[in-house]
Amino acid sequence: MEFDFWSIVLSKTWFSTWESVITVVLSLGVGGGLAILEYFLRIKRSKIFTGLMVLPIFLPGIVVATGFIVVWGNAGLINDLLKVLGVEQVKFLYSAGAIIAGNCFYNIPLAYLALSSKLANMHYYLEDQAKVMGASNIKTLLKITWPRIKNVVIGVGIIIFLYSFLSFALPLVLGGIKYQTLEVYIYSLITQQLDLKAALILAGLQFVGLLALILLLSGYLTNQSEKYFNISKDNNFKNSIFIFTVRILVLIFILLPIGGVLFKGLGDIINLNSTTYWMGLFNSFWLALCSGAISLGLVFILMNTKKDLGKWSLVFLAISPIALGAGLLYLFGDSVLGMLLAYIFLSFPINYFLVSSFWKSRPAFFIESIKLLGADWKDEIKIISSYLSTTILKALAISIVFVMGDIAIVSVLAPYKFKTAMSLSYSYLGA
């Protein structure tokens, strides 16, 4: 391969790396910082705020990117408002800042949820003793609190870095031609330059590099809870107002793109009747349902062998949808079968984690008690299925949301005439 090719690869890799690092810093600073402030100021967690922080997890990248365009585009809501006020328009889209903002949309809530969950299970007694002994707030944070949350912070930081580095839909739409991540460049090699060999080489190198990083830092991806729960709170009105203000600012950042999509989109929903969108939505749904069901079946087969994936489960974190799509394109060509296999593979880790974690937390002697009650194998299956039913439905729902929101796999593997909801949404953006 020519020197120019590798110089482009290094440029894309460097851009992907530094924008991901900045995303990690901002997400941990805002989301994690808010969680730590709530803990130190002893402000009770808000169920409404926490619920709204979960919302971005279920939003497809194309939907979020559309929201950013609606809000920050040349004819977006912000620029329309600035035009009325006689102020110069903002040119925010198709920049590194837009990509970072899009990644932060997902990862600020992730950092907040992870840190606040950890801190909710930490007792205040060590911090209280440190303050009694005259330690300042900064010293208490660095010497007492930080060692107890360090693994969670670093672990979440690793996950945020991986999410940002492997993000596809957001940089594809918000980065424009100039600001391409390595994922988008691999995609362009496949679909525009028609160089599958080069794409496979880059996908393989990316996988090896990220897997090495994950294995090197894998110790931070596990965490032990302290088994404590803080019930009483000791806060004052000023602290409550401060935290409330920060929460409002975070919610504005999160809800603005969503509100923009709803504001602009619901008025035009009737126009979808003249398109093939509903057929695309149906294709997405049956693919999601089939891949989720097969994936769960594989989970139960693996659990029945009583083998734990252990560190092998970390391999899944290093495989991006674009890299997987490139491999399956080489093996099967553009086909629905390749898409189905990709979705089974990608939904397997989360399904395995949810089901196996819940099963491991079952009451002691659960199976033995069923057998002692005289249940045959049919009754045993019914009882176990009933016990796992909620978790199975949760795993299936998450799989469906993930598959229906995918744009990476469908962009690489879908046959020309096979459309899904997100592929049509992306084509409408281009129009």
pLDDT, tens only, 346-375: 898 888 888 887 877 777 677 777 777 777
CA distance 99 to 81: 23
> Which residue, 412, 421, 414, 418, is CA-closest to 190?
412
> How far apart (Å, rounded) are the C-alpha atoms in residues 401 and 407?
12
pLDDT at 343 over 90: yes
pLDDT at 14 over 80: yes
Q: How far apart are CA 229 and CA 123, in angstroms?
A: 6
Q: Across residues 296-303, what is the average pLDDT?
A: 88
127 vs 396, residue with greater confidence = 396
Position 97 pLDDT exceeds 90: yes
d(CA 86, CA 94): 24
Say what the pLDDT of residue 40 is. 81
- The most confident of the ranges 14-28, 202-216, 292-306 is 14-28
More confident residue, 384 or 415: 415
pLDDT for 120 equals 78
Model pLDDT for residues 180-195, shown as the tens digit of each residue: 999 999 999 998 888 9
Structural tokens at position 190: 């496949």
Which amino acid belongs to residue 298?
L
* Predicted confidence (pLDDT) per residue in 192-219, tens digit: 888 999 999 999 999 999 888 888 877 7
Judge whether 209 and 328 are in contact, CB under 8 Å.
no
Confidence of residue 119 (pLDDT cuts 50, 70, 90): confident
Task: State the pLDDT at residue 401.
Answer: 87
Q: What is the pLDDT of residue 229?
A: 47
Residues in Cβ contact with 379 at an 8 Å cutoff, skipping those fewer than 6 apart: 370
pLDDT at 220 over 90: no
What is the DSSP secondary structure assignment for residue 21, as one 8-state letter? H
Distance between CA atoms of residues 258 and 241, nearest Å: 26
267 vs 101, residue with greater confidence: 101
How would residue 21 be classed by pLDDT, with cut points 50, 70 and 90?
very high
The answer to whether residues 126 and 152 touch, using CB atoms and an 8 Å cutoff, is no
Average pLDDT over residues 34-39: 89
Determine the average pLDDT of the residues in 82-95.
85
The model's pTM: 0.85
- pLDDT value, residue 359: 78
